[in-house]
Structure formats: C-alpha cells, structure tokens
Chains A and B, each alone.
Chain A
Amino acid sequence: AQSVTQLGSHVSVSEGALVLLRCNYSSSVPPYLFWYVQYPNQGLQLLLKYTTGATLVKGINGFEAEFKKSETSFHLTKPSAHMSDAAEYFCAVSDRSDSWGKLQFGAGTQVVVTP
C-alpha cells in the first residue's frame, strides 16, 4: 500500500526565513502529488499539485515544490516566510491507476512563524 512520510511534525521558522517541508512517498511508480494547507478549525486548501511535465511546480501564496523521482520526494518550499503562513501542511498522493483520485495523506507538519 502507498504511504506518505512527512519529516517533522512541527517546524518553527523566523519571519523572512526559508520554509522547507519534506515529503517522501513509497511507491515504485510515482503517484500524483499534492500539497494542502489547513488553518485552525478549517478545511484543507490546495496549494499545488504535480501530475506530469515540469518537475518544479508553483502554487499559491508563493509556495513551490519539486518532484524528484530519484529521491521519491516532493518537498515544499517558500523563500520568505510570512506570519500568515502559520498553519498545518499536508502532503498527499493518489495512484496513477486510480481515475477517481483517492488521496493518501501524510501525518502533517505544523508550521510556526516567529517574529
């Protein structure tokens, strides 16, 4: 079964510093890859996704992620953190053979931004 690993359940960054959130998947066939953000007591919002083509994907709010097949990774970055980036971030995958796109989620990474 597919699994998704997010390294670090909590990350603290200073305002203006680089945000780096790590995600690795387990399948030998690269899945479709997603990053979602969740603010307290709210639903999830899609930041970006990778399906095919260019391996560097740009998303909303200045985030981007790079798919690296050799490392089975899809790490999320933002060059300069804002206070508004404080939230929980989830990496998710869906199998390329699944036309209905059921998602498998990582455990999430809570991001705290300090002034």
Chain B
Amino acid sequence: DGGITQSPKYLFRKEGQNVTLSCEQNLNHDAMYWYRQDPGQGLRLIYYSQIVNDFQKGDIAEGYSVSREKKESFPLTVTSAQKNPTAFYLCASSRQGLGAEAFFGQGTRLTVV
C-alpha cells in the first residue's frame, strides 16, 4: 500500500542532543513537508521540498535542518538550537498541481527530558 512512513513513533531526547526524525513516502510525490503541531496552535510549517536536493524554510525553521537526497526521503533533524523541541511532528507529501491535497504520516512525538 502507498503511504508515508514516519519513524520512530515516540522519541525521547536529552537536552543538548540533536535527533533525526525519519520520513519515507512511496506515493511518487514530488513535494514533501514537515509540520510541527502544538496544542491549540494547529500545524506550523517547518521546511518543505519540491524537488530532490532543494528545500525551503517554512514559518518556523529555526533550530531545524533537513535534507532531500532522494525523492522518497525527507529526514528532519531537530538540533540543540531548537529552544522548545517537545512537540508532535508530522511529515506530509503531495503531488504538484493546483489544489492538490497533502497526505500525512502518523507522526513522531518528540519529548525532551
């Protein structure tokens, strides 16, 4: 079945450590996105990529980094510079096209301890 796989589902990190969240899709979508979800704030865009080896900052990119070496993969690194990293992170993908909907993974819940 086609879809988006995020791993791990739960992640615990000590303060000061970098951590990488995985996102893989087999939908053959060109665009991929990372969103952060906090209670009462909806989803906020961190980074997005429309083609391999290219990506753009979203609304809240500070303290995060990404790479897009393959069409299928778009990992997100939460760095130690991110001041409040505890959140639910969602990866999504979409085809190119006006009005195209995004398809979401199941999310990764990151907790800093």
Contact = CB atoms under 8 A, between A and B. Distances in A.
Interface of A: 4, 9, 32, 34, 36, 41-46, 49, 51-52, 90, 94, 96, 98-103, 105-108
A4 B42 CA distance: 10
A7 B100 CA distance: 25
Contacts of B44: 105
Contact of A44 (B90, B94, B97, B98): B90
B9 to A, nearest CB: 8
Which range contains the number of B residues in contact with the other chain? 20 to 34
B101 A46 contact: yes
Interface of B: 4, 6, 31, 33, 35, 40-45, 48, 50, 58, 88, 90, 92, 94, 96-107, 109
Nearest to A90: B42
B31 A45 contact: no
A43 B107 contact: yes
Max chain B Cβ within 10 angstroms of own Cβ: one of A43, A45, A105: A43
Contact of B101 (A34, A107, A108): A34
Contacts, number: 71
A98 B98 CA distance: 7
A96 B98 CA distance: 7
A99 B96 contact: yes
B42 A101 contact: no
A108 B40 CA distance: 7
B42 A102 contact: no
B107 A99 contact: no
Nearest to A9: B40
Given A41-B109, A90-B43, A108-B40, A49 B101 contact: yes
A100 to B, nearest CB: 5
B42 A106 contact: yes
